[in-house]
Chain A
Amino acid sequence: MTPITLLLIALGLALAGWLAARARAWSFQTAPEAPRLAARPNYHGWYVALWIIFPVLAFILLWSFIEPQLVMQAVLASPAANGLPEFGFERDSILAEARAVAAGQSDAVFNPAAQAMVDPFREAIQKNQWIGIAITIAIALVAGSLAFLRIKPDFTARTRVEKAVMAILLLASLVAILTTFGIFASLVFETIRFFGMVSPIDFLFGTFWAPDPMSNPTNPDGSRYGAIPLFWGTIYIGAIIAMIVAIPLGLMSAIYLTQYADPRLRAWLKPALEILAGVPTVVYGYFAALTVAPAIRDAAVSIGISNASSESALAAGLVMGVMIIPFVSSMADDSIAAVPSAMRDGSLALGATKSETIKRVLVPAALPGIVGGVMLAISRAIGETMIVVMAAGAAANLSANPLEAMTTVTFQIVAMLTGEGSFDHPATLSAFALGLVLFLVTLALNFVALRVVKRFREAYE
């Protein structure tokens, strides 16, 4: 509640500052013998507004940390706090309940002891709210008037505003990067904890995966944490079966679209293909689990494989392959289209047919781009979760038989995190180690792929 009030107040003040500064700049301009303004009046307005907004935002951020502590201090200092238990769970819950009622987040208390604390809380919250508002206004006024006083005809408000805008943009782009780093750091941190309990050798090279979340967490059985079957399942489903589907189909549709399709047909087909990439993966998951997997099982049974399971690597891989087609085809399409038409003409002029030209000149010339696209597609496939959760099964099999159920890294991450083990049990922590491996592998794939594609682009600059 309070931060939003403060924010609204700040925005109001900024608007006022904007209007005032603009009016002042206008007045310079309309004065007789007016000097030429160094920046248009709007920029002067923005300059003052930004000077109000930023300090206030900084204060609000700070205040939202300090305010609860100030409230708590005031409450504990009040006479009503004498009746509280010394420390522990009950004390905390009483305080939390009283605070929730005082802040209007709930209507009544369960614990009668909390009732007495409601009023001190209410009082403290109110008092601090006024303090917050007062400081906000003070900061806005001081910063705003300092900025306002700077406004002169030759004041270069525009360059300053532009610098501020640039800083904002930089900050925005840093958010994504810093988040990635944050994720990475937390993965690393939890993974280190995991490797404190289970040896990395067991994890990376063991071939038996059966973590038991109910076992004694202090003395885990390292031999049950061998992740090789998961790595194998991931690669088998995402990089082998899916790619056997996606590479030929994606490449062929790209060739058809760039070389054969009538432009009008292409205008329809290309977006239609790209829509495939926008289908939520859970929908593919249904399709894999409810349609493809049973069909594969029935087919297997009908050719005499009696123990075919209803979950299979094949089902998950096939559907994942279909999902990946648009990635491959659009990268291949772009790469083939980027091969200079002089290449094609040169081949045709030697008497090559269209298909010879495609096969021997265009596709080889576009190969780096195509390979890059395939690598991006693989990195996407091995990180894919929904389809394998729904169709691949949970059994950590180290097998080359596509009809068997298999499990993947992503599946096990889900299984371990949602399992019944406590949060610091190695079974749960193993999810972070798996996540880290996945993160590093996809990062490497993306990195290499982007470099390959970039080199290819440069070759035809």
Chain B
Amino acid sequence: MTVIHPNLKQLDAKMSAKDVSVFYSEKQAIDNVSIDVPTGHVTAFIGPSGCGKSTFLRVLNRMNDTIPTARVEGTIELDGEDIYRSGMDVVQLRARVGMVFQKPNPFPKSIYDNIAYGPKIHGLAESKEELDEVVERSLTRAGLWDEVKDRLLDSGTALSGGQQQRLCIARAIAVDPEVILMDEPCSALDPIATAKIEELIAELTDRYAIVIVTHSMQQAARVSQRTAFFHLGKMVEYGQTKDIFTNPIEERTKDYITGRYG
């Protein structure tokens, strides 16, 4: 069972998972996890490698559908709607719950087309002008506009790693999501690029519900308001970030954040 810190305020849940278990074939990767994710906050998932953080994150926008052996039990709701119910439109879901990956993965297209890709397929822009506007707005919000505004037609893959990752964040923002899932978004970046992304996350916090997986305790402490500690497929402890780091209740959490383990 998960230990919930008493100080954690009950907020309206944007996404809410109840008793979620995930299996790859017979192997269980997530065991009975329940968690609420509110808007206007960054929720960090931490835990040793292989404990199921990425798995749980992928379940939240059904990216695990692409893995044929994956199976999900329990319910996950977005604004009170079960996203695994039959008849759920996965395309709509993923437009509302965006994702940023560990390794920047811009498409081998121009910077402009990278951003315009999502709005085009979802029909979010009526005209070329509107599309231009969406592209500019997304890049601006991702803090990339000034760096790339003169070379929008260059290939997205020609940017630096940090710029590519911000491009991917801009790409996710462009379809106007409500939730943004980030799986170790800075693990391939140097400290300066990392700082920029963290700054960006802080600026985005107000509008979205953000969930970030990270291996860096400092990063979790810097960017998140809430932290969940995972271990061996279970969510061990969940609370305000400062409580988790200064006042962990469970022994395993203590060991992990003091670096005695994993």
Contacts and interface: CB of A to CB of B under 8 A. Distances in A.
Interface in B116-164: 117-118, 121-122, 157
A157 interface: no
Contacts of A459: 108, 157
B121 A340 contact: no
Q: Chain A: interface residue count, which band?
A: 10 to 19
B195 interface: no
B105 A346 contact: yes
Interface string B105-119: 111110000000110
Interface in A328-363: 340, 342-353, 356, 360-361
Given A345-B101, A346-B101, A351 B117 contact: no
A60 interface: no
B118 A350 contact: yes
A450 B98 CA distance: 39
Given A342-B101, A345-B63, A345-B101, A350 B121 contact: yes
Given A342-B101, A352-B91, A347 B66 contact: no
B98 A350 contact: yes
Contacts of A340: 105
Contacts of B99: 349
A352 B61 CA distance: 13
A43 to B, nearest CB: 49
Query: For A343, A351, A365, which residue has the most chain B Cβ atoms within 10 angstroms?
Result: A351
Contacts of B117: 347, 350, 352, 360-361
A340 to B, nearest CB: 7
Interface stretch (B13-21, B168-176, B249-257): B168-176
B108 A345 contact: no
B55 to A, nearest CB: 14
A351 B101 contact: no
- Interface SS of chain B: helix, strand, loop or mixed? helix
B92 A351 contact: yes
Nearest to A361: B107
Contacts of B66: 344-345, 348
B12 to A, nearest CB: 24
Contacts of B172: 349-350
A346 B92 contact: no
A271 interface: no
A44 B262 CA distance: 56
B107 A365 contact: yes
Contacts of A342: 101, 103, 105
B153 to A, nearest CB: 15
A165 B103 CA distance: 46
Contacts of B106: 346
A364 interface: yes
A349 B61 contact: yes
A459 B158 CA distance: 11
A139 to B, nearest CB: 63
B107 A346 contact: yes
B175 A351 contact: yes
Contacts of A352: 91, 117-118, 121
B94 interface: yes
B186 interface: no
A347 B113 CA distance: 12
A349 B98 contact: yes
B236 to A, nearest CB: 28
A349 B94 contact: yes
Contacts of B105: 340, 342-343, 345-346
Nearest to B93: A351
A12 to B, nearest CB: 62
Contact of A351 (B94, B103, B108, B168): B94
B95 interface: yes
A353 B122 CA distance: 10
Contacts of B94: 348-351
A361 B95 CA distance: 17
Contacts of B168: 346
Nearest to B174: A350
B121 A351 contact: yes
A208 B257 CA distance: 86
Interface in A298-356: 340, 342-353, 356
A361 B117 CA distance: 9
A351 B94 CA distance: 5
A347 B63 CA distance: 11
B185 to A, nearest CB: 13
Nearest to A365: B108
B75 to A, nearest CB: 22
B131 to A, nearest CB: 15
Query: For A340, A345, A352, A356, which residue has the most chain B Cβ atoms within 10 angstroms?
Result: A352
Contact of B171 (A350, A356, A360): A350
Contacts of B93: 351
Interface string B64-99: 001000000000000000000000001111110011
A339 B227 CA distance: 35
B66 to A, nearest CB: 6
Nearest to B114: A346
Nearest to B102: A342
A49 to B, nearest CB: 55
Contacts of A343: 105, 107-108
Contacts of A353: 91, 121
13 contacts: A342-B101, A344-B66, A345-B105, A349-B63, A349-B99, A350-B94, A351-B94, A351-B95, A351-B118, A352-B91, A356-B121, A364-B107, A365-B107
3 smallest beta-carbon distances between A and B, as pairs: A351-B95, A342-B105, A351-B94
